[in-house]
């Protein structure tokens, strides 16, 4: 009787495909795919967040740069931040 090759990840289930180079069982493949897809969303969210922070910093630097060497109070700084234009999402290529 031929020996059944077990999943190299969990070591419990038979491999999903004996002829494939992928040594995992179906549940391990499915779990990996789910985690990979979830991490894609997380990475895209983090990338968008970082781009938004960069855009906000650039906008605020521009707003304060227009003030030249003026002396301003903290309340005025807060007001400039409040009324600064919100960065717009760049066009997707």
Q: Does 7 bind Zn ion (CB under 5 A)?
A: yes
Helix (H, G, I), strand (E, B) or coil at 60: helix
CA angle 83, 87, 89 (to 5 degrees): 150
Q: How far is the CB of 24 from Zn ion (least distance, A)?
A: 5
Spatial distance between the Cα atoms of 48 and 89, rounded to a whole number of angstroms = 9
Q: Which of 9, 23, 56, 59 binds Zn ion (CB under 5 A)?
A: 9
Q: Does 10 bind Zn ion (CB under 5 A)?
A: yes
Q: Does 15 bind Zn ion (CB under 5 A)?
A: no
User: Diameter of the chain by CA atoms?
Assistant: 87
- Is 10 or 57 the residue whose CB approaches Zn ion more closely? 10
Given a contact cutoff of 8 angstroms between Cβ atoms, the answer to whether 56 and 48 are in contact is no
Q: Does 72 bind Zn ion (CB under 5 A)?
A: no
What the block records as the tokens of 11 is 């070591």
27-46: contacts with Zn ion (CB under 5 A): 28
User: How many chain residues are in contact with Zn ion, going by CB under 5 A?
Assistant: 6
**Site residues, Zn ion (CB under 5 A):** 7, 9-10, 13, 25, 28
């Amino acid at each position: 009787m031929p020996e059944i090759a077990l999943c190299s990840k969990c070591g419990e289930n038979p491999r999903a495909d004996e002829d494939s180079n992928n040594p995992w069982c179906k549940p391990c493949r499915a779990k990996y795919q789910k985690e990979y897809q979830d991490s894609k969303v997380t990475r895209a969210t983090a990338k968008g967040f970082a781009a938004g922070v960069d855009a906000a910093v650039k906008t605020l630097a521009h707003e304060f740069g227009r003030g030249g060497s003026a002396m301003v109070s903290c309340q005025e700084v807060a007001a400039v931040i409040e009324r600064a234009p919100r960065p717009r999402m760049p066009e997707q290529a």
